[in-house]
Chains A and B, each alone.
Chain A
Amino acid sequence: MDSTNRPSAGLDNLAFRAALARGLVSRRSAMMGAAGLGAAAFLAACGSEGRNPTTPGTGAGTGAASAAPTAKAAQDMSDTEKIVNWSNWTEYIDVTDDGKSRPTIDAFTKETGIEVNYTEDYLDNDEFYAKVRPLLEGGEDTGRDVWCSTDWLVARLIRQGYVQKLDLANIPNAANLEDSLKNVEFDPGRVYSLPWQSGFAGIGYNLKATGGKKIESITQLLTDPALKGKVTLLTEMRDTVGLVLLEQGKDPANFTDADFDAAIAMIQQAKDAGQILKFTGNEYTDGLAKGDIAACIAWTGDVVQLQFDDENIQYALPEKGFTIWSDNFVIPAMAKHKKNAELLINYYYDPKVMAEVAAWVNYIPPVKGARDELVKIDAELGENPLIAPTPDVLSRSHVFRGLTPDEETKYNRAFQSIVTG
């Protein structure tokens, strides 16, 4: 039942691929984690029992959110154990057509002699956090040396002192990081994290279900009577609220409580009017492909994949701006093979390698030069603005700002009360 553990990776992979072909799952498939949710919730429940998290030496916490506690490091076994344990989202790396091997990982092992235990057990940021938090809190090894978390979770992990600083001496290729991603608010100068893939959240729609109508703005998405009851939004708060903020002329990187409330009010209004069918993880792909969902807030990579099968599926990046997110490599506290993990990151920061991955996953590679390499692999992909966005497109993309713990709780609560209302 629990498909998230490693031993059955081969079978799972086949099942996932079959499911993908039917449009059931793709990368951010929150649903596949559902089976594990109960257990995760239980772990979460046990973990916080009376115990305080590894509070830093600076225990007296007035405005202490800025002084992040340092993550504990384990003795690095990298040189004796040629292993690295990497947890990642499903369908998020290149795989051969028979689904049996992952070429870039195999090449890495060949080059360095380091064996990669690649596990697709990262199904959802919240769920993954619930799974590893009790271990991190107790100062224990999570059994993982590296994983890829979305920006906002990286911010939280840094804040709580659960991830280690990267040793850039082992990652010379980090210099290839796209300039626009170098100085993110939650990790200035990229001390703790390096992006794995990026993507936009915009509007996806199915021409068959919209009656040939183009959907180009969030206002249209939330009010056009032609879409009534056939619109879905993402449960990922930062993407949904971020797009609405932009529509209202606010910047998700710099907004006030009142701006947030106004955005929530706009969503609530659309919900009360019956415009919104539901809030989803990326299971919207299935409904969008079938036409049960006419239009939705969608992630780029998902839509690019749907477009291969059906040209009625369209994507619009709203004129007023859209959000960009990244999933980032981080090395957790007490990781046993930190250096190996860094070598792995270094390897993927080679533009050639990154292009191979991008050709398969269809998200935006964060590495300079990967675009040119991608054109060599597949000219059409290399020119797709959703995979290789032009500087003009990139300049319209926005990042959701980091939140303080109090804001995070408050905003999540407000947003979830619409989602589960």
Chain B
Amino acid sequence: MSEATATRVPASPLGTGTAATPARRNWVPYALLLPGLLWLTVFFVLPMITLGSQSLQEGNVDEGFVFTGNVGIYADAFSRYWPHMVRSLSYAGLATVLALLLGYPLAYFIAQKAGRWKNVVLVLVIAPFFTSFLIRTLAWKTILSDNWVVTQWAQQLGITDVLQAVGLTSTDSLLFSPFAVVMGLTYNFLPFMILPLYASLERLDPRLLEAAGDLYATPIQAFRRVTWPLSLPGVVAGTLLTFIPASGDFINARLLGNTQTTMIGSVIDSQFLRVLDYPLAAALSFVLLVVIVTLVALYVRKAGTEELL
């Protein structure tokens, strides 16, 4: 924030009202934007246009697809697959909340208390990324397997009954259930939550907390009035980075879920690759995109963008 003001100052070197000064330097920021814009045009905008036009085509793989402007496909896609959409968003939402609950204390610890171990712990957070996404997910199949301790303890402690009561599992095993899918999502995207949280908590000046204490704030008040608001940019960034990829994910649902936990990503995958119904798959991708963008816009608005920018 303060950097922004710092750079803005020399832009008007002579200060007062001479508005039409440094035309020479105005293009520089735009020139710097160019590589990024080009990248996004080629790898985001163009594929989006392709996808959009594809969703409005009709035909089959043998005879080719022809653009017919068949807008009805969107209604069709939405009415057939809205339960999958809702399911994906709720699993992703749940995973995001869990990741926040797990990640926040951890990020706080790393940023404020880890001292010289900071870097080591950070590396540990990222360490799972050194193995493939797939292998990490497959590991959960072992962890939650019926004949392994986790399930057995959960059964003895009655946790399985609780999970069944809230509908996250349907039998007394843990694997192949919504619970397993949410756990997989949480685990796989946890580092995306921790790192932005760490970045914002690391900048937190401990003297602010001391000051709060001096002003008779209890630790809880200090957290609510100082730490939490200052870490909000990290919270928003972390939740977005977790929620967005999690809602489009299909590996976790495929490996850890059952026939009732199919997420929208799996549907798109199956329409694209198995049924070869490219228009429907493209339309579903678009619907997912719009839904996520809308939710994110509402969320960011609510969370207060000015804190972020």
Contacts and interface: CB of A to CB of B under 8 A. Distances in A.
24 contacts: A34-B134, A35-B133, A41-B269, A45-B47, A45-B282, A48-B54, A49-B53, A51-B64, A55-B64, A127-B273, A159-B62, A287-B141, A290-B145, A290-B146, A291-B147, A292-B146, A292-B173, A409-B275, A409-B276, A412-B274, A413-B275, A416-B275, A419-B262, A420-B270
Interface string B32-70: 000000000000000100110110010011111111000
Contacts of A34: 134, 251, 254
Q: How large is the interface on A (under 10, 10 to 19, 20 to 34, 35 or more residues)?
A: 35 or more
Given A24-B138, A126-B274, A292-B146, A45 B64 contact: no
Contact of A405 (B63, B171, B271): B63
B63 A40 contact: no
Nearest to A126: B273
B259 to A, nearest CB: 5
Interface string A128-142: 001001000000000
A50 B61 contact: no
Given A41-B269, A130-B273, A278-B259, A409 B60 contact: yes
B299 to A, nearest CB: 25
Interface string A283-301: 1001100111000000000
Contacts of B271: 416
Given A50-B67, A290-B147, A41 B272 contact: yes
Contacts of A406: 60
Contacts of B51: 45
Contacts of A1: 132-133
B108 interface: no
A363 B233 CA distance: 57
A45 B267 contact: no
Given A32-B134, A290-B145, A405-B60, A45 B274 contact: no
A31 interface: yes
Contacts of A291: 145-147
A295 B139 CA distance: 22
Nearest to B175: A292
Given A34-B254, A286-B138, A420-B266, 11 more contacts: A1-B132, A31-B138, A32-B134, A35-B134, A45-B50, A49-B53, A276-B259, A290-B147, A292-B175, A409-B276, A412-B276
Interface string A101-135: 00000000000000000000000101100100100
Q: How large is the interface on B (under 10, 10 to 19, 20 to 34, 35 or more residues)?
A: 35 or more
B257 A278 contact: yes
A110 B269 CA distance: 43
Contact of B134 (A31, A271, A279): A31
B281 interface: yes
A312 interface: no
B164 to A, nearest CB: 13
Given A24-B138, A42-B47, A286-B141, A48 B273 contact: no
A58 interface: no
B176 interface: yes
A61 interface: yes
A45 to B, nearest CB: 6
A287 B138 CA distance: 11
Given A405-B60, A412-B274, A416-B271, A271 B259 contact: yes
